[in-house]
């Protein structure tokens, strides 16, 4: 157990409250284990009818510490482990993915309040939930290609099922969505003003059988989703599952959107952009979420020890020079053989299982 996760029972609802505000509630292995233990405990407890996931209030209400639902995972630990034997990194992924799978298959209703930064690991605990509440503070992204990683925690499943080629665009660019855009794409089920969240949580704790009606009652019309203005051009420019063809389409297009998007892609890891495209291609055909998590675990266990992840963390998180030296530096340099190696199934005694 860890005090970075609070798991009280409020009325007839089990509460999972992330409580690591100085790190914007980024997940550690212990936090993932605590959440799984709580879910297992409540699964057979008739007094718990539903589960709510949010973040605890920041100490003294400090607004700088109230900006995050969950900013991701413990990236520094992953890089430090990846630079050695990778054991601790693999243990984190194994534990985190079991949590993701528990939430995806949970028999009781689940609600996530994505109020604030919801990225990486935060996406992994929000999207499996039956109800996903966005607000005017929501900042949703899977920005992993910028640090030589890929959109894991089920990203291959969720992003591949978005309309058009929106998932491929989000996976490669790491583009941030606001709450209205999350609703428009189906990533969120409801849009609430943040000042209505406490009322929603109180009412759900009292009558968890009425979650849908409560959220419907408190929801407000979402603002226009700006990303929809680009949906046709995104579908056209990101139509290919080959990164080189995507680059060519962007280079041939004379729009400001294409120019800016290409500039963004050139800051990302070519290797993990190719990994991401294959992840979504395979994920679209995955028959079960369990299959998806097993594949992502095999990929993650290898990527975390490769040059681009270690270099991306150095450039973005450690030295903060934001000048990663990717290797290979271009899409053409990333061979199909390398991608096949990264995606090869693990031996049975090393493979991920849901537990």
Selecting among 11, 72, 73, 155, the annotated active-site residue is 73
189 DSSP assignment: S
Query: For this structure, is 167 an active site residue?
Result: no
List the structure tokens of 123.
């996406």
Write b or e for each residue in 337-347: b if 16 or more Cβ atoms lie within 10 A of its Cβ, otherwise e. Answer: eebeebeeebe
What CA–CA distance (Å, rounded) separates 330 from 279? 19
pLDDT tens-digit series, residues 122-144: 999 999 999 999 999 999 999 99
Give domain status of residue 53, yes or no: yes
Query: Is 301 inside a domain boundary?
Result: yes
- Cα atoms found within 13 Å of the Cα of residue 81, Cβ hemisphere only: 19
- Check if 73 is active-site: yes
- Give the chain's domain count: 1
Q: For residue 355, tell me if it sits in a domain.
A: no
β-strand pairing of 68-70 with 139-141: unpaired
In a domain, 353, yes or no: no
User: What is the Cβ-side half-sphere exposure of residue 133, based on CA atoms within 13 angstroms?
Assistant: 29
Q: What is the dihedral of CA 46, 37, 303, 187, to 10 degrees?
A: 30
Q: How far apart are CA 54 and CA 321, in angstroms?
A: 33
Residue 273 lies in a domain: yes
- Note if 152 is an active site residue: yes
What band does 58 get if pLDDT is binned at 50, 70 and 90?
confident
pTM: 0.96
User: Rounded to an integer, what distance in angstroms lies between the CA atom of residue 315 and that of residue 241?
Assistant: 28
User: Is 53 in a helix, a strand, or coil?
Assistant: strand
Please write the tens of the pLDDT for every residue from 282-330. Answer: 999 999 999 999 999 999 999 999 999 999 999 999 999 999 999 999 9
The active-site residue out of 152, 181, 292, 311 is 152
Q: What mean pLDDT is predicted for residues 147-175?
A: 98
Residue 61, pLDDT above cutoff 90 = no
CATH assignment at residue 68: 3.90.226.10
Q: Which helix (H) or strand (E) holds 34?
A: helix 29-43
The two three-digit tokens of residue 93, written as one number: 């992924």
Residue 182 and residue 114 in contact, taking contact as beta carbons nearer than 8 Å = yes
Q: Which of 21, 37, 200 is nearest to 117 (CA)?
A: 21
**What integer is the mean pLDDT of 69-84?**
94
Per annotation, catalytic residue among 49, 54, 74, 144: 144
Report if residue 52 sits inside a domain.
yes
DSSP letter, residue 110: E
Contact (CB, 8 A) for 87 and 29 = no
**Catalytic residue (choose from 68, 72, 82, 121):** 121
Choice among 68-77, 174-183, 212-221 with the minimum mean pLDDT:
68-77
H/E element holding 286? none
Q: What is the pLDDT of residue 182?
A: 98
132, 103 Cβ separation under 8 angstroms: no
Please state, for a pLDDT cut of 70, what percent of the chain lies above it. Answer: 97
**Residue 335 belongs to domain spanning:** 5-343
Q: At residue 1, does pLDDT exceed 80?
A: no
Name the region of 24 (left: φ>0; alpha: ψ -120 to 50; beta: rest). left
CA distances from 306 to 81, 82, 144, 148 (A): 11, 8, 14, 9
Predicted confidence (pLDDT) at residue 257 exceeds the cutoff of 70: yes
* Residue 350 maps to a domain: no
Q: What's the confidence (pLDDT) of residue 323?
A: 96
β-pair type (117-119, 68-70): parallel
Which one, of 59, 53, 40, 73, lies nearest residue 13 by Cα? Answer: 53
Q: Per the domain annotation, does 158 fall within a domain?
A: yes
121 is catalytic: yes
Q: What is the CA radius of gyration of the chain?
A: 20
- Percentage of the residues of the chain whose pLDDT score is greater than 90: 95
């Amino acid at each position: 157990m860890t005090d970075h996760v609070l798991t009280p029972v409020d009325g007839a609802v089990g509460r999972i409250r992330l409580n690591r505000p100085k790190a914007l509630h980024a997940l550690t292995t212990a936090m993932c284990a605590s959440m799984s233990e709580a879910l297992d405990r409540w699964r057979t407890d008739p007094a718990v009818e539903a589960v709510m996931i949010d973040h605890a209030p920041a100490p003294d209400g400090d607004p700088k510490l109230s900006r995050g639902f969950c900013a991701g995972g413990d990236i520094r630990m992953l890089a430090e482990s990846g630079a050695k034997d990778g054991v601790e990194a693999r243990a984190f992924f194994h534990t985190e993915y079991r949590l993701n799978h528990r939430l995806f298959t949970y028999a009781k209703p689940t609600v996530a309040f994505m109020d604030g930064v919801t990225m990486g690991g935060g996406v992994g605990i929000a999207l499996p939930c039956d109800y996903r509440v966005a607000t005017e503070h929501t900042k949703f992204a899977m920005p992993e290609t910028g640090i030589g990683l890929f959109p894991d925690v089920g990203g291959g499943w969720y992003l591949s099922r978005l309309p058009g080629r929106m998932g491929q665009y989000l996976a490669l660019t790491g583009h941030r969505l606001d709450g209205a855009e999350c609703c428009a794409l189906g990533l969120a089920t409801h849009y609430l003003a943040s000042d209505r969240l406490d009322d929603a949580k109180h009412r759900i704790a009292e009558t968890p059988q009425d979650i849908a009606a409560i959220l419907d009652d408190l929801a407000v019309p979402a603002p226009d989703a700006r990303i929809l203005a680009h949906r046709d051009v995104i579908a056209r420019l990101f139509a290919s599952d080959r990164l080189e063809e995507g680059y060519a389409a962007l280079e041939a297009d004379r729009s400001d959107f294409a120019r800016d998007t290409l500039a963004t892609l050139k800051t990302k890891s070519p290797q993990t952009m190719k990994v991401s495209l294959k992840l979504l291609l395979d994920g679209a055909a995955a028959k079960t979420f369990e299959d998806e998590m097993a594949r992502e675990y095999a990929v993650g266990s290898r990527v975390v020890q490769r040059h681009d992840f270690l270099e991306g963390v150095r450039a973005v998180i450690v030295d903060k020079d934001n000048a990663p030296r990717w290797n290979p530096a271009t899409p053409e340099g990333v061979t199909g053989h390398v991608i096949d190696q990264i995606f090869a199934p693990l031996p049975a005694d090393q493979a991920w299982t849901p537990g």
